[in-house]
Structure 1
Amino acid sequence: MKREAFNAKNAPQPRGGYSQAVRLEDFQRLLLVSGQIPASSDDTVPAGFEAQARQVWLNVDAQLKAAGMTKADIVKVTTYLADRHHTSANREIRSEYLGSLAPAMTVVIAGIFDGAWLLEVEVVAAQ
Structure 2
Amino acid sequence: MEILPLDPATLPDAMGNYTHGTLVADVRRTVFVSGQVPWARQGVVPGDFDSQCRLTWRNVFAVLAEAGMGVHNLAKVTTYLSDRRYREANSRIRQEILGDHRPALTIIITDIYAEEWLLEIEAIAVE
Q: TM-score range by the shorter chain?
A: over 0.9
- Percent identity reads 39
Residue of structure 1 equivalent to 2:66: 66
Matched, 1:18 2:33: no
Residue 84 of structure 1 and its aligned partner are, at CA, apart by 0.2
CA deviation string 1:56-91 (max 9, x = no partner): 011011101111111110011000000000000000
With normalisation by structure 1, the TM-score equals: 0.98
Residue 2 of structure 1 and its aligned partner are, at CA, apart by 1.6
Task: Give me the whole-angstrom Cα distance separating, in 2, the residues matched to 1:93 and 1:60.
Answer: 14
Residue of structure 2 equivalent to 1:34: 34
How many residues align? The count is 127
Task: Give me the whole-angstrom Cα distance separating, in 2, the residues matched to 1:3 and 1:44.
Answer: 35
Q: Quick one: which amino acid aligns to residue 29 of structure 2?
A: R
- Which structure 2 residue ranges, 5 or more long, are not aligned? none
Residue 12 of structure 1 and its aligned partner are, at CA, apart by 2.6
Deviation beyond 6 Å, 4+ runs, structure 1? none
- Which structure 1 residue ranges, 5 or more long, are not aligned? none
Residue of structure 1 equivalent to 2:123: 123
Q: Quick one: which amino acid aligns to residue 32 of structure 2?
A: L
Is the partner of 2:11 in helix, strand or coil? coil
RMSD across aligned C-alpha pairs, in angstroms?
0.7
